[in-house]
């Protein structure tokens, strides 16, 4: 599959396809390669973030959300980036009542984005 065939799905998870292809040296193939690789790197981070939230471990929540923010930002996955950023900001500000809702949004977007990656195989 190509970006053109999946453009609406990429848009749904916050990816500006034109911007990302440009970022990856005008190479659609390179963007798609790194998009698929994202899930290999991010899978453990997402799992660790969920565990940290279950344990109410604020330091680990901040750390894992910050890592996920960086990883998702690299591939323009804004629907994951934005809630990850909000989790980091909230925990740093000592506001611990919001991050579970933000995690739910993040996980929903991550699942949708991962489904797109499977279509690329």
| CA–CA separation, 83 and 33 (whole Å) | 24
CATH architecture of 28-119: Up-down Bundle (1.20)
| Rounded (5°) CA angle 88-58-45 | 65
| CA–CA separation, 31 and 37 (whole Å) | 10
Per-residue pLDDT of the chain (121 residues; tens, 9 = 90+): 788 899 999 999 999 999 999 999 999 999 999 999 999 999 999 999 999 999 999 999 999 999 999 999 999 999 999 999 999 999 999 999 888 899 999 999 999 999 999 999 7
| CA–CA separation, 105 and 94 (whole Å) | 20
Residue 93: CB atoms within 10 A of its CB come to 9
Q: Where are the domains of the chain?
A: 28-119
Q: Is the pTM of this model over 0.85?
A: yes
């Amino acid at each position: 599959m190509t970006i053109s065939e999946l453009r609406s799905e990429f848009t749904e998870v916050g990816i500006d396809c034109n911007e990302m292809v440009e970022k990856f040296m005008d190479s659609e193939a390179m963007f798609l390669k790194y998009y698929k690789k994202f899930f290999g790197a991010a899978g453990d981070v997402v799992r660790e973030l969920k565990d940290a939230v279950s344990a109410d471990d604020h330091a680990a929540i901040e750390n894992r959300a910050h890592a996920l923010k960086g990883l998702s930002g690299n591939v323009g996955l804004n629907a994951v980036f934005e809630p990850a950023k909000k989790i980091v900001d909230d925990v740093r500000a000592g506001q611990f009542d919001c991050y579970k809702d933000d995690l739910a949004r993040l996980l929903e977007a991550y699942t949708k984005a991962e489904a797109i990656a499977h279509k690329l195989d």
